[in-house]
Structure 1
Amino acid sequence: MSAVDTLRALHHDRAPGDPLILPGPWDAASARVFEEAGSPALATPSAGIALSLGYEDGQVPPGEMFAAIARVVRSVSVPVSADIEGGYGLPPKELVERLLATGAVGCNLEDSVKGEDGRSTLKDPAEHAGFLAEVRAAAGDRLFVNARVDTFLRGVPEPEAAIERARLYVAAGADCVYPILAPAEAIPALRTGIEGPLNMVAEPVGPSPRKLGELGATRVTFGPGLLHRSLTALRDIADELARP
């Protein structure tokens, strides 16, 4: 079975309370740790990679991001999906080919766009669905496409708004939908209204991955959260070393 087929299969026929847990490595070393601990696949976070490279989230040049993804992929034997933000303004065919060249077999694509003032706003959903359809046409079955829905992130709290976008994205060819920062109480409605796999993010003070699965999540990711936990541990080590 190919890596993309393995990744796709991991999202299906999952029991409630048993979501696919995808740790988010930010470099080759962290990727190896997660693989050695038994993770069946990995999902790189753009914010985590940005922090590890010395950038703010959303400021990593595409070439550096693709190079970082490639280092993660070649360090492990499990399938890797990559957060490639909004696609870096690249034409869909070029975006797909550059991502596939890293060895990644999946991607996140968000439906926010940054304006000239530096602020991010929601894209027109039909426009974004068209973009996703072009990505799917260019990729064929070579990529598992996770369509991020940013309504909750951008201050639109109604689940119906996320469901409306999600349906367009699934119809355009998305394999999975990711309503980032959806509150736990919205997950059952999202599960009912959205066809196919549903990605939720686990937050430090939120429900456990298992609980997210019981509420309806198919897949659980962590954004840069695991890197932040590692940095907290590293700070404790640094403080210990600094003691007289």
Structure 2
Amino acid sequence: MGETTQAQHDLARRFAALHHGARPLLLPNAWDAGSAAIFAALGYPAIATTSGGVAWSLGHADGEVLALAELLAAVRRMVRVVNVPVTVDFEAGFGATPQQVGESVRALLDTGAVGLNLEDGVEHAWLRPVGDAAARIAAARAAAASAGVDVFINARVDNWIVGRMDAAALFEEAVQRARAYIDAGADGIYPIALSDPELIERFCRAVPAPINVGARAGSSSLEALKQLGVARVSTATRLAMVAYSAARETAQALRATGEFAGLDASFGYDALQRLFPKH
């Protein structure tokens, strides 16, 4: 295992503080070093990864298919090209047991990352027992403590993806899960797929930690989410999907017409070259 550095400690503290600013922390989700460099150059104060985008860029489906070693290599490249905090969508923790999750988190911290998401859903199909999910968060926290990095653990609550209960019971269980995860060492809570403004506000009031919501076309504005109590907003797979969609549509038009006008890029070769070191 590598040694953590003062720079990583400083990035971790900076990242945690961003969850308590005057505005919600807006995170673009990168899928490779190029996208991370672009987002950092635009002035975003931190970068998140997208499990789906990273998996697709490496030739895998999303959903706990990507090998840990491949993810770590991708994260290491992102960290190398940016000077802002990087937080990683760590899916279910890359381990069958809490101990294995802790070992995987320790390996993740060796990349220079300072935050991670851990989800309590399994293959987008069912929820882990809350005790098991909490134990995995506790193991991640212990691993971070042993590494000397105050990593920001964002615990994902998957009730709105895979919950099999009526709306009232779903909400109450999500709150109970969130509180259990905070007790286990989580710093923030991500109720993924929760989009109803009234429920977001209720959830923010019920859970004593920074709340992360996902953004999509049609979502409430950043200012509106701030008024609801949201501390963090991420784009998940959507920027990757926008990029892949643009490439697909351009290639489709090229093949259909034989015309090359669509190959004109507003962000060209020289601009991209300036984002990266030449060594």
TM-score between the two structures when normalised by the length of structure 2: 0.80
- 1:183: how far off? 2.3
Aligned to 1:172: 184
Structure 1 residue ranges, 4+ long, deviating more than 4 angstroms after superposition: none
Equivalent AA in structure 1 for residue 220 of structure 2 = P
Partner of 1:108: 117
Amino acid across the alignment from 2:184: A
Instruction: Give the deviation of 1:240 after TM superposition.
Output: 4.1
| Residues in 2 aligned to 1:83 and 1:132: alpha-carbon distance in whole angstroms | 14
Given the alignment of the two structures, is residue 86 of structure 1 paired with residue 92 of structure 2, yes or no? yes
2:26 to 9, 12, 21: 21
Report if aligned partners of 1:176, 1:199 keep a CA contact under 8 Å in 2.
Answer: yes
For these two proteins, the number of residue pairs brought into alignment is 237
Query: For the residues of structure 1 that align with 2:228 and 2:112, how far apart are their CA atoms?
Result: 33
Residue 239 of structure 1: how far off its partner (Å): 3.5
* Matching residue's letter, 2:14: T
Distance in 2 (CA, whole Å) between partners of 1:92 and 1:232 is: 34
Greater shift after overlay, 149-158 or 53-62? 149-158
Counterpart-to-counterpart distance in 1, 2:104 and 2:134: 16
CA contact (8 A) 2:192 2:213 kept: yes
- Using the alignment, how far apart are the partners of 2:243 and 2:51 within structure 1? 16
SS across alignment from 2:134:
helix
Q: What secondary structure is seen at the aligned counterpart in 2 of 1:183?
A: coil
1:44 aligns with 2:40: no
Contact 2:200/2:228, CA 8 A, preserved across alignment: yes
Residue 196 of structure 1, CA deviation: 1.5
2:218 counterpart of 1:209: no
Distance in structure 2 (CA, Å) of the matches to 1:134 and 1:234: 41
Match of 1:43, SS state, is strand
Contact 2:93 2:105 in 1 (8 A): no
Greater shift in the superposed pair: 56-65 or 90-99: 90-99
State the 1:85 CA deviation.
0.4
Between the aligned partners of 2:118 and 2:150, the Cα distance in structure 1 is: 15
Cα RMSD (Å): 1.6
% identity of equivalent residues: 42
CA contact (8 A) 1:22 1:219 kept: yes
Aligned-residue offset at 1:214 = 2.3
Match of 2:75 among 63, 66, 69: 69
CA offsets, 1:153-205, max 9 Å, x none? Answer: 11354322211100000111101000000122310110110011000000123
Q: How far apart are the structure 2 equivalents of 1:238 and 1:162?
A: 43
Post-superposition Cα deviations, 1:69-115, rounded to whole Å, max 9, x if no partner, equal 1111111110000011001116133112210111111000000124x
Which residue of 186, 198, 211 maps to 2:199?
Answer: 186
User: Where in structure 1 are there 5+ consecutive unaligned residues?
Assistant: none
Structure 2 letter corresponding to 1:83: D
- Partners of 2:105 and 2:61 in 1: CA distance: 24
Q: Is the 2:11–2:85 contact (alpha carbons within 8 Å) kept by the matching residues of 1?
A: yes
| More contact order relative to length (CA 8 Å, sep ≥ 6) | 1
Is 1:111–1:123's contact at 8 Å kept on the other side of the alignment? Answer: yes
Q: CA deviation at 1:142?
A: 2.8
Whole-angstrom CA distance in 2 between matches of 1:236 and 1:183: 29
| Distance in 1 between residues matched to 2:73 and 2:224, nearest whole Å | 35
Name whichever of 202-211 and 61-70 sits farther off: 202-211
Structure 1 equivalent of residue 105 of structure 2 = 96
**Structure 2 stretches lacking a partner, 5+ long:** 1-8, 259-279
Distance 1:233 1:212 in 2: 28
The equivalent of 2:269 in structure 1 is: none
